[in-house]
Amino acid sequence: MPSQTVQFLRPSPAATPAHSAILSEPSTAAQRWSVAQIEELFNMPFADLLYRAQQVHREHFDANAVQLSTLLSIKTGGCSEDCGYCPQAARYDTGVESQALMALDDVLDAARAAKAAGASRFCMGAAWRGPKQRDLEPVLDMVREVKALGMETCATLGMLKDGQAEQLREAGLDYYNHNLDTAPEFYGDIITTRAYQDRLDTLERVRDAGMNVCCGGIVGLGESLTQRAGLIAQLANLDPYPESVPINLLVQVEGTPLADTDALDPLDFVRTIAVARITMPAARVRLSAGRQQMSDAVQALCFLAGANSMFYGEQLLTTGNPEVERDRALLDKLGMYPFAEQH
């Protein structure tokens, strides 16, 4: 990742709408959505769906601003879980070697490079079922030091036990990521080593500790449209719904059980972004895994559908991501620019 500070093209003041900042920060508590209602959104004519999503988006955000996050794997491989999509599961032969927790100085070097490249949030991921206390202590130091750099902090460490979310919050963690992955009725086809309720329990601990929730899922796992709608219903009906919603497109990794899954139609992915925006209007909807295989045109449609966050940098845990220069060029072509984050 380049170490120089990135300059993005911005419109002149005269060309910037009066609502160029977030118009409001409404409560993320919202209506209850049934799976049937969400499936109806998915089935709307494409142009109508994007128009509605864009209207909702502009009510809450600057339509041309995007929040940039960088994700670093601070502990890679060797996970005991059996998530069917994950190359870090120890039971799958994917070529990912188990590595020890990164040293603090190396994490800080990566965070400084990410900040210089334009990222405002730094996310740290560890391939654990859940952290033991001896694992958590060095991560708390990482959170404190990254926060001191002036960046927002996020971590995804697996399931949390009682008291661990409070420790992370006290260290300065802004967001905790714990995805639901898919709909409850399809979940057992993808993961058997933890229950859906385990994920909900961790999210509850994060909320009770007073932290922001980053929670989304993966599409293209072989789920039906109804099951995809079921995932969005689960997310939208959390009370409150997540502040940050990463939507991942399955990256088919050889050696995992889902390696031969049929690829999702790109327009179905765009529809998922639009439906997430409509049902969670004040959330940051993030383009996450799978962007490397998307064309610029598909990503532009995702932004039009209401995506306003993206993972930025060449690596996402163990899978690739578009190069910083490509992303910078794309945002400039679209007249987009990073959010001015408040810390």
Query: Which residues are known to be catalytic?
Result: 79, 83, 86, 123, 154, 214, 286
Verify cis geometry, omega within 30 degrees of 0, for the bond prior to 266: no
Nearest-angstrom CA–CA distance, 262 and 249: 12
Contacts of 82 (CB under 8 A, 6+ apart): 89, 91, 191, 192, 193
Q: How far is CA 108 from the centre of its chain?
A: 21
In sequence order, the β-bridge partners of residue 73 are 125
Half-sphere exposure of residue 320, counting CA atoms within 13 Å on the CB side?
Answer: 7
End-to-end distance of the chain based on CA atoms, in angstroms?
24
CA distances from 40 to 32, 37, 219, 226 (A): 15, 5, 18, 10
Nearest-angstrom CA–CA distance, 244 and 321: 19
- Alpha helix locations (H) across the chain? 35-42, 46-60, 104-116, 133-148, 164-171, 184-187, 196-208, 225-236, 266-279, 296-304, 324-334
In sequence order, the β-bridge partners of residue 70 are 122
